[in-house]
Amino acid sequence: MKLEKYSKQALKCALCLKMCKFVCPVASVVRREPVYPPNKALIVHLIASKLVDIDEESDVLAEYLYLCTTCGLCSTEPWCGLKISMPEIIESARTYLVS
Amino acid sequence: MSTQTVLKDRISKIVGEENVSTSLVDLAICSRDLWLPYFFNIVDRKLWKLPDVVVWPETTEQISETIKLANEIKIPVITLGGGAGVCGGISPTRGGIIIDMKRMNKIIEIDDKSLTVRTQTGIIGMELEEELNKHGYTLGHYPLSIYSSTIGGFLACRSAGVLSNKYGKIEDMVLGIQVVLPTGEIIETKPVPRSATGPNLTQLFVGSEGVLGIITEATLRMHELPEERIYISYRLKSVHEGLEAIRKIFRCGVRPAIVRLYDEYDTKLTLRSLGLPAEGCLLILSFEGNSKLVKVEKEITENICEKEFKAENLGEKPAKHWWIHRHDQYWMLPSLLMGKMIVDTMEVAATWDKLEKLYFEIRKVFEKYRVVAMAHFSHFYQEGGSIYFTFLKSKEKGKPIEQTYWNIWNDAMETCLKIGGAISHHHGIGLLKGAWLPKYYGNAYSILADIKRILDPNNILNPGKLGFGGIDEARKIF
């Protein structure tokens, strides 16, 4: 799974108004801003835009990208009307990070 | 050691090493809200002004200790709720510590007898609402950001929900608060129904946008879940007739929960999507509460709209449709932003004698800059109401989009000041409207400045906001 394939989706998600924050089962427990789904998309956008050094930030990036069950609840209506596939965005970013 | 390392080390001792970060990812994500310049920066693949450190406290005492440390080092502290503000209110323009409040999410007490709830303020609006619903109650506070913003954010910005006509704005719902002052001292205001005990200090901190203190707990008024909710919709001839009908409804003492009057432009979009003739001005209303009272309120409203204003009854469909689909309009936002289009909202308020003039004069500003704008009027009081403009503007060749953006805002805000309206009804000031706040207050602004100086001698809390940074600080975010 290539990161570039999902970077446009990630950007779109990062520009949304974050309604899906409420339904994320992981974020509702961890309760840190970067863990909420649209911010995970923003993390992917930062990676794709080379705005973060993935070597320097590898621990934090891995932590946040793996703080997702890929349940996809955030990608369902009515929380998401953009047809974003968060599990695929997350999986592609994980693959990129590992490689 | 760098200041950042010292800070991280010292704050770790307060909240634990795992609850503090200097990672660029954390700094970037915890320092932006939904203000347009941040969206543009994201599209342009640019970072924005970052804080030095992000902290995740769990107790009021941890916040207090963090603020005491900030005073010692003389470094700013900015509070992050849900990050759903639209005015740049959490921008760390001078660096510093961001306190992400969301771990402070405990509901402390639901008082069935007094109909109040005491909660920490990092809880997301809908999280609190769902819990209250389980007990048969509602806060009645439904801003469009209810799924993403926090109770603390509502209080800090004087938020309004779409049912505000019946339940009031957040400042009408708060009885007492716990606040950490800019020196780290913790104070409480008493949760009493009303008092005659001097000036109301609760209201000093409500709307202070993290500049005068950090609200850590609040006691809020709640209501029994409504027995019934009914919807009704009308087509009126014009904005003037629509506003007059609403004014009369409120003069009778009727308080619908939802009241939304769309101007001709907004009506076209809304009614077309429902397959109805796109003419006139759509008015949607809902009534909720005790079934008998609801019936009476509906009857009075029907009389006013149909007999006095000859409004066309469109039934419940447009109103109900709006309630169910009220978030749908936002799905087009990312695509517009990706095209670097200005997409923004402006909410102003005025008394009845000025409201209509305010609407038409601000419309002229949008026309001057060839901006596509539509409006609805959605929060009403016996004395007046608010206007909510949504405006869009494509990039023009040879003109920096930032310049256009500030020109529109400047002319609109100056128009509002000239007419005597409020430059914000429920979004707050942030960085966006700071330049016009001193003018709005007039010579009373010096009192606000004096209060800030006395409470915050080291200018620690959210510096540069509520007009203390001027327009230059705001422009730097682009």
pLDDT given for residue B476 in this prediction: 79
pLDDT given for residue B405 in this prediction: 95
Reply yes or no on whether the pLDDT at B104 is more than 90. yes
pLDDT digits (tens, 9 = 90+) for B50-86: 999 999 999 999 999 999 999 999 999 999 999 999 9
pLDDT digits (tens, 9 = 90+) for A67-79: 999 999 999 999 9
Question: Do B293 and B340 form a contact (C-beta atoms < 8 A)?
Answer: no
Inter-chain residue contact B25 with A43, CB threshold 8 Å: yes
Reply yes or no on whether the pLDDT at A1 is more than 70. no
Query: Hey, how many other C-beta atoms are within 10 angstroms of the C-beta on B5?
Result: 12
Closest CA to B253 of B297, B286, B309: B297
Question: Span A10-38, mean pLDDT?
Answer: 96
Let me know if B113 is exposed, middle or buried by CB neighbors in 10 A (0-12, 13-18, 19+). Answer: exposed
Inter-chain residue contact A33 with B25, CB threshold 8 Å: no
Question: Do B135 and B112 form a contact (C-beta atoms < 8 A)?
Answer: yes
How many Cβ pairs within 8 Å bridge chains A and B? 108
pLDDT given for residue B475 in this prediction: 82
Inter-chain residue contact B29 with A42, CB threshold 8 Å: yes
Question: Do B476 and B470 form a contact (C-beta atoms < 8 A)?
Answer: no
pLDDT given for residue B2 in this prediction: 84
- B145 reaches A (C-beta below 8 A): yes
Rounded to whole angstroms, the Cα distance separating A13 from A45 reads 10
Q: What kind and span of H or E run contains B401?
A: helix B401-419
Burial B426-454 (b: 16+ CB within 10 A, else e): bbbbbbbbbbbbbebeeeebeebeeebee
Flag whether the pTM goes above 0.90. yes
Reply yes or no on whether the pLDDT at B379 is more than 80. yes
Inter-chain residue contact A21 with B145, CB threshold 8 Å: no
Inter-chain residue contact A51 with B47, CB threshold 8 Å: yes
DSSP string, B129-186: HHHHHHTTEE-----TTTTT-BHHHHHHHT---TTHHHH--HHHHEEEEEEE-TTS-E
Tokens read off for A4:
């570039």
Report residue B398's pLDDT band, with 50, 70 and 90 as the boundaries. Answer: confident
Which of A22, A28, A39 is opposite residue B29, by nearest beta carbon? A39
Which of B26, B45, B126 is opposite residue A49, by nearest beta carbon? B45
Least confident residue range of A29-33, B105-109, B159-163, B397-401: B397-401
Inter-chain residue contact A20 with B147, CB threshold 8 Å: yes
Q: What is the largest CA-CA distance in chain B?
A: 76
Closest CA to B282 of B315, B327, B329, B328: B315
Which domains are delineated in chain B?
3-102+457-475 (3.30.43.10), 106-224 (3.30.465.10), 228-326 (3.30.70.3450), 330-427 (3.30.300.330)
Closest approach of B411 to chain A, Cα-based (Å)? 27
pLDDT given for residue B287 in this prediction: 98
Look at residue B270 and give its three-state secondary structure: helix
Provide the mean pLDDT of chain B.
Answer: 96
Distance of CA B425 to the CA centre of its chain: 8
Closest CA to B232 of B297, B300, B303, B284: B284
Look at residue B297 and give its three-state secondary structure: helix
Selected for mutation to probe chain A from B8, B25, B33, B103 (highest A CB count within 10 Å) is: B25
pLDDT given for residue B470 in this prediction: 78
Q: What are phi and psi of B124, to 5 degrees?
A: -75, 145
DSSP string, B416-478: HHHHT-BS-SSS--TTTTGGGHHHHHGGGHHHHHHHHHHH-TT--BSTTTTTTSHHHHHHTT-
- Looking at beta carbons, which residues of chain A come within 8 Å of B331? 16, 81-82
pLDDT given for residue B220 in this prediction: 98
pLDDT digits (tens, 9 = 90+) for B254-289: 999 999 999 999 999 999 988 999 999 999 999 999
Question: Do B86 and B120 form a contact (C-beta atoms < 8 A)?
Answer: no
Question: Span B302-326, mean pLDDT?
Answer: 97
Searching chain A, which residue's CA lies closest to the CA of residue B27?
Answer: A34
Report residue B395's pLDDT band, with 50, 70 and 90 as the boundaries. Answer: confident
Q: What are phi and psi of B216, to 5 degrees?
A: -105, -25
- Looking at beta carbons, which residues of chain A come within 8 Å of B327? 17, 19, 78, 81
Q: Would strands B77-80 and B97-100 be described as parallel, antiparallel, or unpaired?
A: parallel
Which of B28, B42, B148 is opposite residue A22, by nearest beta carbon? B148
Reply yes or no on whether the pLDDT at B478 is more than 80. no
The span from the first CA to the last CA of chain B, in angstroms, equals 32
Question: Span B103-110, mean pLDDT?
Answer: 98
B456 Rama class: left (phi>0) / alpha (psi -120 to 50) / beta? beta
- Looking at beta carbons, which residues of chain A come within 8 Å of B105? 31
pLDDT digits (tens, 9 = 90+) for B112-156: 999 999 999 999 999 999 999 999 999 999 999 999 999 999 999
Reply yes or no on whether the pLDDT at B469 is more than 70. yes
Question: Span B356-369, mean pLDDT?
Answer: 98
Closest approach of A22 to chain B, Cα-based (Å)? 5
